[in-house]
Structure formats: structure tokens, C-alpha cells
């Protein structure tokens, strides 16, 4: 009986030692306005990056022309932060 309990305990110990924790991949949405050959380049960059590692997955998504892409991004940034976000973009900083 003691041998059976020892065997069961050993099996559980080995199973726990070999078990790896679940590792979630962080997905990054990459919105872009590239068409034609540039779209192919964006997709290739994402494929190469995804193949080079397993912690992140870049998902390139065409969001329309440049203005559409910027508007989609702006809707995701709260209004207070939007001014700070655009402070470095030429021509978009508030003027005195």
C-alpha cells in the first residue's frame, strides 16, 4: 500500500514538474494606410516579426487612406491625451 501511495505521489510530482504554465501571446493590432506594394511590405514585416519570436503577434490591418487611419486611432485615444499625442506631429499642435 505504501509503495502504491509513493508511486502515485511520484507520478503527481513528475506531472507538476513537467507542466508548463499557460503563456498567452500578446496581440498587437497594426493599423495602416498602405496599399499595393507597400501593403505587401507591411504584411511581410509582420510575418517576419511573428516568425522571429513567440511572445507577440502583430496583426496588420488596412484601415483606409491616411486620414481614415488617423481618425480610427484618434477615436481610441481619450480627448485629454489626444493633444499630448499630437504635440509632436507637425502642424497638429494647438496654436497660441
**Structural domain includes residue 92:** no
**Structural domain includes residue 4:** no
**What pTM did the predictor assign?**
0.54
Cell of 45: 514585416
Buried b (16+ CB within 10 A) or exposed e, 24-34: eeeeeeebbbb
**Structural domain includes residue 16:** no
Three-state DSSP at 90 gives coil
**Structural domain includes residue 62:** yes
Domain that holds residue 67: 24-86
d(CA 29, CA 6): 50
User: Which helix (H) or strand (E) is 56 found in, with range?
Assistant: strand 56-62
Mean per-residue pLDDT over the chain, rounded: 75
**pLDDT tens by residue, 4-32:** 665 566 665 656 556 656 678 999 999 88
- Overall number of domains in the chain: 1
**Structural domain includes residue 60:** yes
Amino acid at each position: 500500500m505504501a509503495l502504491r501511495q509513493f508511486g502515485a505521489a511520484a507520478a503527481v510530482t513528475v506531472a507538476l514538474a513537467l507542466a508548463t504554465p499557460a503563456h498567452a501571446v500578446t496581440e498587437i493590432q497594426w493599423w495602416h494606410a498602405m496599399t499595393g506594394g507597400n501593403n505587401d511590405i507591411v504584411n511581410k514585416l509582420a510575418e517576419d516579426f511573428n516568425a522571429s519570436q513567440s511572445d507577440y503577434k502583430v496583426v496588420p490591418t488596412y484601415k483606409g487612406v491616411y486620414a481614415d487611419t488617423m481618425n480610427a486611432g484618434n477615436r481610441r485615444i481619450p480627448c485629454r491625451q489626444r493633444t499630448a499625442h499630437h504635440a509632436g506631429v507637425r502642424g497638429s499642435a494647438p496654436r497660441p
